[in-house]
Amino acid sequence: MTLLTDNITHLSNCSSVMPESLRWLIMKNRLEDAERLITKVTAVNKIEFPQVKWGDIKLQLGLADTETKQYSVIDILKTPKLRKRSLILFYIWYII
């Protein structure tokens, strides 16, 4: 029991010290926080901030948001090939 509580205490202490992942920040569209993190990392490593690459990432994220399409269950039944495969799988799942 003591080992479990020690591990939980250690994890809670580490979470306040460890920064969030750059990938997670970008995927959650928190670009300002991600840019701050990149600036901090580049300052520590004494390298230049990659303005061009960062601009490309922002551009791709802007385009990716507009191209995202929402699908529904009806889309499975639109083409004959998918319809056939889906119905066979539904039948097999029902039998099992």
Tokens 């319809």 identify what position?
83
- C-alpha–C-alpha distance, residues 48 and 42, integer Å: 6
pLDDT of residue 81: 93
User: How does pLDDT run across 69-83, given as a tens digit for each residue?
Assistant: 788 888 888 899 999
What local confidence, expressed as pLDDT, does residue 2 receive? 56
**Whole-number Cα distances in Å, 80 to 1, 5, 8, 72, 90:** 58, 56, 53, 16, 15
Question: What is the spatial distance between Cα 55 and Cα 39, in angstroms, rounded to a whole number?
Answer: 14
Please give the DSSP secondary-structure letter assigned to residue 78: S
Confidence band (pLDDT; 50, 70, 90) for 64?
low
Q: Who has greater pLDDT, 66 or 50?
A: 50
Residue 15 has what pLDDT? Answer: 54
Domain map (residue ranges) of the chain: 21-95
Residue 1, pLDDT score: 54
